[in-house]
Amino acid sequence: MPPHLVSSPPYGGEEDFDEGVNSMSTVDTDIVIIGSGLGGLTSAILLGEQGLKATIIEHNPLPGGLVRSYMRQGVDCAVGLHYFGPADEGELLRQMFDILGVTDKLKLRRLGTGGTLERYIFDDLIFDLPPTFTGFEQALRSVCPNESDAIDAIISAVRSLAHGLHFDTTGRLQSNLFSFVGFNQSMEDFLQASGCSKKLHDIMTVHGFWTGLPMDKCPAYLLLYTLGALLLSAWELGCTGTQMVEAYVERACATGADLLLGDPVEQILVSDGRACGVRLKSDRTISCRKIIAGIHPKLVLPMLPEDAVPAEYRKGLMNLEETPGAVCVRLLVDAKQHEAPGYNLFRIHKVDGVNIDGTFFQLRRSELPGWNVLTMIRGSDYSDWKKWQNTQTGSRGPDYEQAKMRAAESLIETARSVLGTLEAYKILDISTPLTMRDWAASPEGSMYGLLRSVKNDLQYAVLTRLPVRSLYLVGQSAIAPGLLGVTLSVLRGVGEVIGRANFQNFLAGRLASQP
């Protein structure tokens, strides 16, 4: 276990909020929050509920970051939130939605009600992932009947990790992630130690598609927990991503937060080693007691004075790798020809040793009668689009449009091999890592930010703080990517801002007040 995590309390340090008062005689706001993605908005709600004034600053003209969806031809298109778990009663994400007061607005829909949660399509095998632990174990034993010991080890690890992440009645975060015996173990090492055959190995590495990591670098707990969380309960939004963002913004504003759009932070002000305010592009200055950055840490560093962060730390953080970007293509397809199956599909092209290559498919009903929407996602390195890196969305020229179309045609051909003939379809949208970079301020257009690798230097394992007092990070999580990672990062960041004991008491009170 990384030493930084051993000594850290569940929500961070014991720093008292009053200790963070800067040297200026007055402040404009208690907390400046940079970025209005889910991390920033969640932080604003939690802090506002505890009487602290937050000012959220967003560089885009609209809030929401990766969560906010957009419309194409009357169809809502998700950006970065396709499905998630666990969010059933008493599970961490549902507990957080309840605490934030947004559960009803999200209209959550349970996935896997038809008996299949995901379908993995290999060249020589189709494996249907059931939506329960028991079903998963039975399915593994059916396709790998002679691997009882390996399956026992897998099921034991998946169950242990998945069941261990939730708030107890005292507001304390219960987590089995840190008790996992192989916290620093790669997925490849875990599977080899379990004695898996290649068939079982390949099934267990499918979700590595999302990490962008070879299995000898991907933390075992990350894939095992991700799988376990979905088996515990898997969900998707019943509202749009934009409606989810609006629900969070409404709650943040109701707690007293201000939201400033289209005027990005250009400089974080530091006095005596402490963050004490920000200067915006408009040259406006906002002073504050503390700052929460809900953006990528590599974007935070250039906002700081050169001498605020040690050169070696700055260099080490900037040299950390990003997860790969992706090409995403959305089609309208004939609903009669291609009915929504109620589960997601992965077409695995190859598992070459520790590397995995695949395409994700999600087929859902659209807002247009007679049409369903097919989302296809495949990894694509930022370097593949480097020719246009100094351009902005909407002004990249015909060569870029042709390159996007070639990528789309390749994905459509793959879709035909999975779904059958695609006779009538309409292209809704094609996005690349450059699209993601411009939409969500991701340095290299990645969907999941920094690589969470067992090879990373331990001093970067917990990205809750940079070496600047009163500056906290909630834009990345050391534990997991996605919605869960944001939640864990916010819990640590907000806990450090107001103090662990205060935050735990607040959470306990909110949980006790739920029906």
Q: Residue 52 is part of a domain; what is its CATH number? A: 3.50.50.60
Q: Is 342 exposed, middle or buried (0-12, 13-18, 19+ CB in 10 A)?
A: middle
Residues 455 and 443 in one domain: no
Cα distance between residue 294 and residue 67, in whole Å: 13
pTM for the model: 0.91
Counting the structural domains of the chain, the total is 3
What is the domain range of residue 39? 3-68+241-321+451-513
Same domain, 228 and 289: no
* Close Cβ partners of 366 (under 8 Å, ≥ 6 residues apart): 75, 332, 372, 373
Whole-angstrom distance, CA of residue 491 vs CA of residue 12:
8
Last residue of a domain, one of 214, 233, 252: 233
Strands 118-121, 109-110: parallel, antiparallel or unpaired by DSSP? unpaired
Handedness of CA 78, 80, 84, 88 (dihedral sign): negative
The answer to whether residues 485 and 388 belong to one domain is no
Among 192, 207, 233, give the residue marking a domain's end. 233
Q: In sequence order, what are the residues at sequence separation of 6 or more whose Cβ sits closer than 8 angstroms to the Cβ of residue 512?
A: 169
Give the pLDDT of residue 19.
47
Q: Is residue 346 domain-shared with residue 410, that is, in the same domain?
A: yes
Give the distance, in angstroms, between the CA of residue 72 and the centroid of all CA atoms in the same chain. Answer: 24
In a domain, 177, yes or no: yes
**Residue of 145, 221, 216 lying closest to 179 (CA atoms):** 221
Last residue of a domain, one of 177, 208, 233: 233
pLDDT at residue number 182: 55
Q: Quote the pLDDT of residue 27.
A: 76
Domain match, 202 and 260 both: no
- Residue 263 belongs to some domain of the structure: yes
- For residues 280 and 393, membership in a common domain is answered with no
Q: What pLDDT score was predicted for residue 9? A: 33
Share of the chain above pLDDT 90, in %: 64
Query: For position 388, what pLDDT does the model report?
Result: 96
Which parts of the chain register pLDDT below 50? 1-16, 18-25, 458-459
Helix (H) or strand (E) holding 425: strand 425-431
> Are 346 and 443 part of one and the same domain?
yes
